Amino acid sequence: MQSKTSFLTHLHYDHVGNFDRFPKARFHLQERELAYATGRYMQYPRLAHSFEVEDICGIVRLNYARRVMFYNGDAELAPGLTVHAVGGHSAGLQFVRVRTRRGFVVLASDVTHFYENMASGRPFTTAFHIGKMLEGYDRLLALAPDESHIVPGHDPLVMKLIRLRAGNSRASRCGLTCRHRGPRPFVLTICRGSSRYRDDLDGKQNAFEERYTCRAALTSPPQLLESASAVRFRF
- Binding positions for Zn ion, 197-216, rule CB under 5 A: none
Angle formed at CA 158 by CA 157 and CA 162, multiple of 5 degrees: 110
Shortest gap between Cβ of 12 and Zn ion (angstroms)?
4
Whole-number Å distance between alpha carbons of 132 and 155 = 20
Q: Which residues contact 129 (CB under 8 A, 6 or more apart)?
A: 87, 88, 91
Residue closest to 187 by CA, chosen among 195, 179, 199: 179
Whole-number Å distance between alpha carbons of 125 and 110 = 12
Pairing mode of beta strands 176-180, 186-190: antiparallel
Site string for Zn ion, 110-129 (x = CB under 5 A): x-------------------
- Binding positions for Zn ion, 92-111, rule CB under 5 A: 110
Shortest gap between Cβ of 87 and Zn ion (angstroms)?
12
Whole-number Å distance between alpha carbons of 58 and 167 = 40
If the CB atoms of residues 92 and 175 are measured against Zn ion, the closer one turns out to be 92
Shortest gap between Cβ of 36 and Zn ion (angstroms)?
12
Site string for Zn ion, 5-24 (x = CB under 5 A): -------x------------
Site string for Zn ion, 24-43 (x = CB under 5 A): --------------------
Shortest gap between Cβ of 30 and Zn ion (angstroms)?
13
Applying CB under 5 A, which residues contact Zn ion? Answer: 12, 110
